[in-house]
Structure formats: structure tokens, C-alpha cells
Amino acid sequence: MDLSMLNPQQRLAAETLEGPVLILAGAGSGKTRALTCRVANLMDHGVPARSILALTFTNKAAREMKERIVRLVGDQAEDAWISTFHSTCARILRRDIEKLGYSRSFVIYDDDDQGAVIKEILKRLNIDEKFLPPKEIRAKISDAKNKLLSPDEWFAKSERDHRSQMLHDVFVEYETRLKALNALDFDDLLVKTLELLADHPPVLESYRARFQHVLVDEYQDTNYAQYMLVKLLTDRSRNLCVVGDDDQSIYGWRGADIRNILDFEKDYPDATVIKLEQNYRSTANILDAANQVIAHNAGRKEKALWTESGEGEPIKLFCAGDEREEAAWVADRIRQLGRQGESYGRTAVLYRTNAQSRVIEEMLMRSGIPYKVFGGQKFYDRKEIRDVVAYLRVIVNPADDVSLKRIINVPKRSIGDSTVQELVNHARENDMPLYSALSDIPDTLSSRPRKCVSDFFLLMTMLTALKEALPLSEFVKTLVEKTGLMEQYQREDTEESRARVENMQEFLGAVEEFARASENATLEEYLENVALVTDLDQQEDERGYVTLMTLHSAKGLEFPNVFMTGLEEGVFPSGRSLMDENRMEEERRLCYVGITRAQKRLFISRASQRMLYNQVNHNAPSRFLEEIPPRLLQDEWAEKKEAAFKGVPQSAPRRGGYGSGYGMRSTPAMADLGKPRLTLHGDALGIPGVQKGFAPSKARELASGAMQSLFRKGDRVMHRKFGEGQVVAVTGRGADARIQIEFTAYGVKEFSLSIAPIVKLEDDE
């Protein structure tokens, strides 16, 4: 087989066919090519395709791997088992699950099916869902199964309190119920396969004899159950090849165990270790930054990425005053890339948590930049946000039957579909809005649903009265509390529920921000603002979309232009990791993943002050930012501003630290701008005799006249405080001349031309 297209290390990986092999594949190092060539080379050396098992984590990865191998060796590759862990286990169980007391026609339950079974058990055990939410139970059971713990073993490791005892009892009932239903959940596919292989040696021996070579992709993401499955299958042949990158192990929160890859050589002392370190994705500066950051982790295999692609551009750095200025900078730089010929589809904006996307989304929409949220919904499309908005719409417009139907049983208040249908029928028969039927309850309803509907109507009546009595932000916060919208998720101890709580807190922050911007903001005005945001969300653009995503979602992807936002202590790294070294190392690996998504250009930003989850924090720069050597960073905003205002008197002191940004807070000097002071240097205007400080009126008129000829509608300008903007209009004459400028973060602002601290920017960027 021709392996000449591989580099020396990739070729070594493809040609080392016997014994345990660990391929440490750095980001962008061509691991998929090496892995597929290795499988093809096995077949070329006489290994039957049916004797090869290749395990992946996604169906897409498995499909792409098989397609590549077929292109290399032809249709004989079809006999190889190339699939995900769970698909492989399901295939094994379909053949022999009868030995465990199930029939081969077993069904596989998804999350909703599991939830229905758990709710049924809670009713039977008389356990309140509010005390023990089904989603929390499902998460705890899943975690236990991934660690191969039985209900009793799980309880022994728990806090062994009353709550743990109840969880244990539900777990026992759940296992019994699923077996009676001839059903497996997703985690059972692994657990039951291991049980089958461990308890029935002939079955294990048949698969050991069949699979002479086992390969595992993304080995750093395996959990304990997956580790044990691979170990069982390869104990005889010892022909195990695992491919992965410990520096990209970022899923510990969902069960992945980095020790599986770090301890591979302990499990297999005779293992061959091959490092793929040549990167084919990023520039040298980007790789240097990634290497410098990840080197601060203690728990890792030593390796260093390198490239022949050249040094590339320095990493652009920006320190904003707050999250809005940060988002405006991102939007401005994306537009600048567009002027350089870069399509939107070549750019990604990364952030640590979904809630951070709100301000970025709003700023991109204001700038007319189309975007898509990858791996998740847009902020205002998320269920928890739509629920709050639906409540607010009903308060403003009780005739909104669509919104009322959405929230009448959210959170659950025992108003089922049949009760809602009775109310709908009653409203239709009496030609009234559905809301009116809440107070004019039909006689056909029995006492319990009548009380539930009545209680809901009283709640809505109280909230309607509070709307008139409370300021906007306080009212929305009260509504979220009184309805229990946030509490329903706070009770659940899962990653999903915590994310929903954070999104709702971010929504409250958005309301407060809107209220601050308008002295007498009303709920009606805010809902109109939300409607405009969501309408803009639907716009399509043939030039492509900027991709917005969390850092976790970005793994495995690459973009020519990448923005990493929110590099602050408590944001990234997250607050939960600050006191836990293992979590901190995983956060640093996440930073490494983010940096190595960039091919040509990397932009990094932070904010000195950030409102997130409706809390304002003054955050220190992220330690990851400080781990990148200054030689790789360019505070391009500070440099650009310094060049633009060279020779122009300073109106306020510049902030120190990483980047000065244009988010300068108001200072006495800044507030003093309204006094008759010339802040544009006279030489720049070609006017002799203009001096700093109080200028004679004649000089001011000359200056204003010169500036009127300098600035035109559509010109791009820079303001010392507000950053880049576009001239909307120039009006008046002489000392009364005014200029209106639209800034991405601040909207339209008007200044006196004679004192405005602005300079015109060239159009050649």
C-alpha cells in the first residue's frame, strides 16, 4: 500500500500493526488520515476486514472513517465493524441478550421515555417531583451506570442521607421496571454488554477470537465502562490501537476519564507511543500560544505542536470596558474582515457558556451580520426564555391564546391537556378569549382541575396588578420568582438545568439593561424590542453566517478566523474551577481547544466589567491570557488608537493592563469635554495657531469649518472613548457645527465638531 502521502510519524502509526499502540495526536495533526491508513494497511497485510473493530463517538465520524477506508481498499472494508460504542453494543446484544433475561426485540428508551418511567415510579413511591426532580434522578442513574455502579454500590458511595436513600429506592425500581418492559436505556447498552461478556465466557471468547484488532478514536473521551469494554475485548490479542489527545480531554463533567489515556502505558507497559505533532491547520503564532498555555498543566503527556505554514499574524487582543463593548469590537472586526474579502462563513465566535451569546447576538444583528448558533438554539429561542416571554405577553395581552396555552401548565400545576381543551371549548362556545375562561370555569371540570385553574388565574391577576406597581426589571424578576419558572430548574441538579438557570438570569440582566437605557421603560416596549430581535433572527444572507458556539461545541471544528471572548477569571476559567485543580486543568485544555480551532487569525477579548446572569462583576484577566507570551500578542486596538490620535492631547488617562480598549469610563477629564477645548491637534487640521486649551473664537470657527470639509456622511471615524463609528450626519456651520456618529455598542451620539475627540479612519483596511 502507498503510504508516501503520510509524514514520518503518521507513517509509523500506519505501519505499526502489532501490539498495544498509543497515538498521541495533537490538534490538526491529521489523525484521521493516519487512523484510516492504518486500518487499510491491516487489510493490505492480510487481516480480514471482519476481524477489525474501530470504535468512534459519533455516527458521522464512523461514517466518514468507513468511506475513507473503502476509497483506499475497496468494498472489502464493508465487513469491518466501524461504528460508535453504543451501536456496537446494541449489535452484540441483539444476538445474545436472551442470556440476560431479555428478548432480542428489546427497545431502547430515550430521555423522554426514561422520564416517563421515573415519574411513574415517583407516584408509586409517593415521592414529590419537586423534592426529587426526574431529570436529576436520570442524571444520577446515568452517572452511576457509566461508573458501573449498581444501586447498592452507588448508595454506599453517596452521602447516605434520606435523599440518597430515596434516590436508591427509585434506582432499584427503575431497573426492575425497565426489565419488565424489555427495555434498555442508552447507558444500558454498555452496561449490559459488559455484563453479558463478563458472565458468559463463551460469548466473550467468540468476540475476542473475531476482533483481532481493535482501534479507538478520541480515546481521551472514554468513560470507565468504555475503557472496560475495550480491555475485555483485547486482553487476548493485545492488538489495541488508541488515538487521542490528552490535551483535548474536555468532557470530564459528563463522565470522560482522562486517566484512561494518561495511564495507557501502565496498562500496557510494552506499548508503542507515537506522537503526531506536525500541525496542518494553524499558523506558528497560534500553535506557539496553544503550546505555552497547555504547558502549565501537570497531568499531561509531553508534546509540542509545530507547523511549516509560517509565522502568521500576531494574536489580536482587546480589553473592553464591559460586555457590550467587547461584543461591539467583535462585530467591528468581523466587518473589517469582510472588507478584506473574508466571507462570514469563515468566522467563528467562541464563548464559555451559552448565556454569553445574548449580547454578541444582539450586537451582530445591530451590525447586520448574519449568524447561526451551532450546537444550540439562539438565546431568545431557548425554551426557558420563551416561557418567560410568553408569561409577559399574556400580562400585556390576555387575548394571546397561543402564549397562554404555552404557560398555563408551566411549571407543572396539574392543568393537563384535557383540562385545557375543556377551557378552549368553553371559550369558543361563549365567544370569549381563553383567558376569560379562567375566571368563568366550565361546570364540566371536576373539583381538582377547577382549583388548579382558579389558582393560576389568581396568580396572573396578582402579576397583572404588580406590573403597574413595580419598575420593569423588578416586575420581571418578581414574575420569575412567583411563577416558579426558575425554581423548577434550580431543584434539578443537572448540567442542563444549571444552564437553563444561567440563561434565565441572563434574561433578567437583559431586562435590567433595557430598563437602564430608558428611564421609564415599559413592559410593552421591552416585548417590542424582543420581537424585533427574534424577527431579525430569521433573516437569511447568501454570503453565509458567522458561527456562534460554546468552546465545548467547537471541538473537532476549524475556522480561518476565530474570536475567543470572555477571558476573565470566573468566566473562563469558570468560577466552579477556581478551587479545584482537576477542573482548572480541564478548563486549560478547553482553552487549548479554543486556540487550536483558528487557522489564520485568532482574536482574544476580555471585559473589565461584565454583567452575566444578572450580576455585575469586575473580573481579573484570565490566567490563560497571562500564560500567552506578550511577543505573540498585539493590542491592535490600543496601537490603532495611539496611531490615530498621535499628537492629539489626551482627554483622559489610559487604562493599564492587557489592552486599553475603547471602553474608558467617564472621568473628570472626560466629563470636561463640553468646555471650550480643542482636542484635535491644529497641525492635523492645517490651521496655524490653534493651541491646546481655551481657543480664540476665530480659531474655533476656522477649526469647525475645516472639520466640516473633513467629515462626510458614511465616513468611518474613531472616537477616543467610544471607538469606531460611522458618520450619520454633519449639520450646522462654524462654531455651531455638529456631527452625528453611529457606534456599534452605543448607538447614535452627537458631538460638537469643534471639540469632538475624533479622527477619520482610512478606508484601505
Q: How many whole angstroms separate alpha carbon 61 and alpha carbon 76?
A: 19
What is the arithmetic mean of pLDDT over 95-106?
Answer: 90
User: 614 in the Ramachandran plot: left (φ > 0), alpha (ψ -120 to 50) or beta?
Assistant: left
Best CA proximity match to 134, nearest among 104, 171, 109, 179: 171
Say if CB 270 and CB 20 are below 8 A apart. Answer: yes
Instruction: Quickly tell me which residue has 479554543 as its cell.
Output: 594
Per-residue model confidence (pLDDT) at position 648: 59
How high is the pLDDT of residue 589?
Answer: 97
Q: How far apart are CA 423 and CA 312, in angstroms?
A: 66
C-alpha triplet 372, 375, 380: angle, nearest 5°: 60
> Using one digit for the tens of pLDDT, what is the confidence trace for 176-185?
989 988 889 9
pLDDT recorded at residue 626: 93
Question: How confident is the model over 587-642, as pLDDT tens digits?
Answer: 999 999 999 999 999 999 999 999 888 888 899 999 999 999 999 999 876 776 67
Residue 668 Cα distances to 361, 647, 651, angstroms: 33, 21, 9
What backbone phi and psi angles, to 5 degrees, belong to 157? -95, -5
Q: Mention every residue, 6+ apart, whose C-beta is less than 8 A from residue 29.
A: 276, 277, 278, 279, 280, 305
By 3-state DSSP, what share of the chain in percent is helix, strand and coil, each rounded to 5?
50, 15, 35
Distance of CA 317 to the CA centre of its chain: 21
Cβ-based burial of 752 (10 A; exposed 0-12, middle 13-18, buried ≥19): middle
Which DSSP letter does residue 218 get?
S
**pLDDT (0 to 100) of residue 647:** 62
> How far apart are the C-alpha atoms of 467 and 480, rounded to whole Å?
13
Which pLDDT belongs to residue 724?
82
All three cell numbers of 314, joined, read: 500576531
pLDDT higher than 70, residue 663:
no
Q: How confident is the model at residue 404 (pLDDT cuts 50, 70, 90)?
A: very high
pLDDT for the residue 401: 82
Type and span of the H or E element at 269: none
Higher-confidence position of 346 and 107: 346
238 contacts 268 by C-beta, under 8 angstroms: yes
Provide the pLDDT for residue 666.
32
As to burial, measured by CB atoms within 10 angstroms (0-12 exposed, 13-18 middle, 19+ buried), residue 702 is: buried
Burial letters 679-689, b for 16+ CB under 10 A, else e: bbbbebbebee
pLDDT band at residue 214 under the 50/70/90 scheme = very high
Tell me: cis bond preceding 471? Omega within 30 of 0 counts.
no
**Greater pLDDT, 351 or 130:** 351
Mean pLDDT, residues 284-301 taken together: 96
Does the pLDDT of residue 438 top 80, yes or no? yes
- Least confident piece of the model among 116-125, 164-173, 488-497: 488-497
Closest of 488, 511, 507 to residue 498, by C-alpha:
488
Length of the chain, in residues: 765
Task: State yes or no: pLDDT of 654 exceeds 50.
Answer: no
Reported confidence tier of residue 728, pLDDT bands at 50, 70, 90: very high
What was the pLDDT predicted at 8? 96
Would the pLDDT of 668 be above 60?
A: no
Mean pLDDT value across residues 215-236 = 96
C-alpha cell at 386: 420563551
Q: What is the pLDDT of residue 110?
A: 78
The pLDDT assigned to 630 comes to: 95
3-state DSSP assignment of residue 515:
helix
Instruction: Report the helix count and the strand count for the chain, using DSSP H and E.
Output: 31, 22
For the ranges 27-36, 313-322, 513-522, the lowest mean pLDDT is seen at: 513-522
Average pLDDT over residues 68-80: 91
| Number of CB atoms found within 10 A of residue 582's CB | 11
Which pLDDT tens digit goes with each residue over 59-69? 888 889 999 99
- For range 505-519, the mean pLDDT: 85
Beta partners for residue 53, in sequence order: 81, 214
The answer to whether 490 touches 525, Cβ cutoff 8 Å, is no
Confidence of residue 763 (pLDDT cuts 50, 70, 90): low
* Cell numbers at 695, concatenated: 481657543
Kindly indicate the confidence band of residue 673, based on its pLDDT and cuts at 50, 70 and 90. very low
User: What pLDDT score was predicted for residue 661?
Assistant: 37
Q: What is the C-alpha to C-alpha distance for residues 303 and 282, in angstroms, rounded to an integer?
A: 16
Q: Quick check: 106 pLDDT over 90?
A: no
Contact 573, 584 (CB under 8 A): yes
What pLDDT is recorded for position 80? 95
Question: Cα separation of 657 and 635, whole Å?
Answer: 11
Tell me what the pLDDT averaged over the chain comes to: 86
Q: Which residues pair with 611 in a beta bridge?
A: 616
E-state strands within 306-389: 315-320, 347-351, 371-373
Q: 132: which residues sit within 8 A by CB, 6+ positions away?
A: 122, 163, 166, 167, 170
The confidence score (pLDDT) of residue 685 equals: 38
* Residue 159, burial from CB neighbour count under 10 angstroms (0-12, 13-18, 19+): exposed
Q: In angstroms, rounded to a whole number, what is the distance separating the alpha carbons of residues 255 and 323? A: 32
pLDDT of 659 above 60: no
3-state class of 226 per DSSP?
helix
Helix (H) or strand (E) holding 752: strand 747-752
Is omega for the bond preceding 411 within 30 degrees of 0, making it cis? yes
Contacts of 43 (CB under 8 A, 6+ apart): 49, 52, 73, 76, 77
Residue that wins the pLDDT comparison between 737 and 419: 419
Single pTM value for the model: 0.72
Query: What is the 3-state secondary structure of 140-204?
Result: HHHHHHHCCCCHHHHHHHCCCCHHHHHHHHHHHHHHHHHHHCCEEEHHHHHHHHHHHHHHCHHHH
**Eight-state DSSP code of residue 314:** P
Residue 540 half-sphere exposure toward CB, CA atoms < 13 A:
1
Q: What are the residues whose beta carbons fall under 8 Å from the beta carbon of 37, sequence distance 6 or more?
A: 1, 3, 6, 10, 14, 72
d(CA 589, CA 27): 11
Mean pLDDT of 251-269: 93
**What is the full DSSP assignment across 65-115?**
HHHHHHHHH-GGGGGSEEEEHHHHHHHHHHHHGGGGT--TT-EEE-HHHHH
What amino acid positions are annotated as catalytic residues?
31-32, 217-218, 248, 597
Kindly give, in sequence order, each residue whose CB lies less than 8 Å from that of residue 247, ignoring residues fewer than 6 positions away.
Answer: 26, 27, 294, 297, 300, 303, 589, 592
**What is the b/e burial string over 368-402, where b = at least 16 CB atoms within 10 angstroms of the residue's CB?**
ebbbebeeeebbbebebbbbbbbbbbbbbebebbe
- Cα gap 38→60, rounded to integer Å: 19
Per-residue pLDDT tens for 144-174?
A: 999 999 999 999 999 899 999 999 999 999 9
Q: How far apart are CA 14 and CA 44, in angstroms?
A: 11
